[in-house]
């Protein structure tokens, strides 16, 4: 078990420090864990809310409206479940020393991109190429 890295509350990764040093890795690890905990908390709240709100609504329009709301909520939770698995994968990459590097080119992913999307696995350029290729194949 490694010692915890000290990280001031106002710390932000900077371009002028070594890429993916201990402080940057700890910053992103904490960011990912906080995000993950928020998503899991929201899921627990949804489950509790759905259990509490199960009721028999006699009006057909009201029942349809509630079912639509539930379906939307479940779809949102499913997307968040997939997001949690991507966060877990990012945390594994931190542990394995692969975090912050593009899985296609091996180049560093910009700190700004990682700060905005800490689960990113590709550099902006590689992501754009991937999306262009995807769009071309989708149009076929």
> What are the pLDDT digits (tens) for 5-33?
788 888 999 999 999 999 999 999 999 99
Residue 131 lies in a domain: yes
Residue 122 lies in a domain: yes
CB 24 within 8 A of CB 69: no
Element (H, E) at 5: none
- Say what the pLDDT of residue 53 is: 64
34-57 residue pLDDT tens:
999 999 998 887 777 776 665 677
Residue burial 10-28, b: 16+ Cβ < 10 Å; e: rest: eeebeeeeeebeebbbbbb
How far is the C-alpha of 122 from the C-alpha of 19, rounded, in Å?
A: 16
Whole-model pTM over 0.85: no
Say yes or no: 69 and 113 in one domain: no
Say yes or no: 42 and 83 in one domain: yes
Say yes or no: 90 and 107 in one domain: no
- Say what the pLDDT of residue 1 is: 44
Say yes or no: 40 and 88 in one domain: yes
Determine the structural domain holding residue 34 and report its residue range.
18-99
Q: Is 127 left (phi over 0), alpha (psi -120 to 50) or beta?
A: alpha
Say yes or no: 37 and 70 in one domain: yes
Number of domains in the chain: 2
- Say what the pLDDT of residue 128 is: 94
* Tokens of residue 134, six digits: 């995807």
Residue 9 lies in a domain: no
Task: Calculate what percentage of the chain has a pLDDT beyond 90.
Answer: 60
Q: Is 122 left (phi over 0), alpha (psi -120 to 50) or beta?
A: beta
Q: Identify the band that residue 94 occupies on the pLDDT scale cut at 50, 70 and 90.
A: very high
Say yes or no: 106 and 42 in one domain: no
Residue 3 lies in a domain: no
């Amino acid at each position: 078990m490694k010692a915890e890295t000290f990280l001031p509350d106002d710390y932000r990764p900077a371009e002028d420090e070594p890429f993916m040093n201990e402080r940057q890795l700890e910053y992103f690890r904490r960011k990912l864990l906080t995000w993950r905990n928020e998503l899991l908390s929201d899921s627990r709240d949804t489950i509790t809310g759905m259990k509490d709100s199960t009721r028999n609504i006699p009006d057909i329009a009201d029942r349809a409206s509630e079912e639509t709301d539930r379906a939307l909520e479940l779809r949102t939770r499913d997307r968040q479940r997939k997001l949690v698995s991507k966060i877990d994968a990012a945390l594994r990459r931190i542990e394995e020393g692969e975090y912050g590097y593009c899985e296609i080119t091996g180049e560093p992913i910009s700190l700004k991109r990682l700060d905005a999307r800490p689960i990113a696995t590709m550099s902006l350029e590689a992501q754009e190429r991937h999306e262009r290729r995807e769009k071309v194949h989708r149009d076929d």
